[in-house]
Amino acid sequence: MSCPICKKASDPAYRPFCSRRCADVDLARWLRADYAIPVAPDDPEAELPPHPDDEER
């Protein structure tokens, strides 16, 4: 199984994610209700954008 955020191998401690960071990214997306926006798989170190509201409105 691979991390749905960055596609790296998942860690059993954070599955299905590879790290706490990716789990937090996923949670943040759910909370912002913009989970449908895919992450760029070639940029796994990218942080969350500071103003995601620009995408929705």
The contact set with Zn ion (CB under 5 A) reads 3, 5-6, 8, 18, 22
Q: Please say whether the dihedral angle defined by the alpha carbons of residues 28, 37, 21 and 54, taken in this order, is positive or negative.
A: negative
Closest to Zn ion by CB, 31 vs 53, is 31
How far out from the chain centre does Cα 30 lie? 10
Q: Which is nearer to Zn ion, 47 or 54 (CB)?
A: 47
Q: Nearest approach, Cβ of 9 to Zn ion (angstroms)?
A: 9
The minimum distance between CB 30 and Zn ion, in angstroms, equals 16
Distances in whole angstroms, Cα of residue 52 to Cα of each of 15, 41, 55: 25, 18, 6
